[in-house]
Amino acid sequence: MNARIKEAMEAALSAFGKINNYHTSDFAEKLTGVFDAEKPYLDKVASMDEVFDDEPTFEALREVFFDLLLINFFTEDVQKLEEDYLESTEWEAIEEETIERGTELLNVLLYLKECDDEDIEPELEDFLKEFLLVDEDEFQDEHRIYEEVIANQTLIDSSLEELAKITQKIPETSELKELFYSMFGFFREQHPDKQEFEDYIKYSSNADFDAAVYALLVAYK
């Protein structure tokens, strides 16, 4: 298991568990076993789902951890496969089978990995325009998905209270409704101290999930 991904996973579970007063060490150990297992990707997905099925208290994090499992595959598992595996019909079939899984957090994680590889500081505008290419005609699906983020970029310089108010107004139909607060929270402050993290939680309307995602992103970066 990739060390950064393990750190991100543990940070997310710790933040989630702290708010809900859950013990997370056993759950984290089970997930680590899934990520470390020497078996095909879809078998890992099935094993991860079994772990979540057995621990419904962590259900809110299932799809976020699917994103982590996929990132782990890209960074670790794929190195053990054929060089062009991600262009194979087998991988194409896997993508088709899992197309409804995961969240848009995957794009943020891929972007952070690229920033690390290129030694640049992550920024929301760079994420939108240079990574997602939302201004390009051929990437209008991304523009549609990230429409609310694009329209509210100035929130990067706003208070958490204002960010929380705008988050409440995001349409329920938006694919980024659940991640809006944590995504802006991260790009707004990537190195929160204890008080800043507590303030972030205070204004959240979905505190355990938002805390988990923010902690995950901070740890992964």
- pLDDT (0 to 100) of residue 187: 97
- pLDDT (0 to 100) of residue 138: 65
- pLDDT (0 to 100) of residue 143: 85
d(CA 39, CA 66): 16
Do the beta carbons of residue 105 and residue 67 sit within 8 Å?
A: yes
Residue 150 structure tokens: 């694009």
Report the C-alpha dihedral over residues 189, 200, 104, 16, rounded to 10 degrees.
Answer: 120
- pLDDT (0 to 100) of residue 204: 97
Rg (CA), the chain: 17
Do the beta carbons of residue 182 and residue 210 sit within 8 Å?
A: yes
Token pair 């991100």 is at which residue? Answer: 8
- pLDDT (0 to 100) of residue 102: 95
Residue 33 structure tokens: 């076993």
User: With a cut of 50, which residues of the chain have pLDDT below it?
Assistant: none
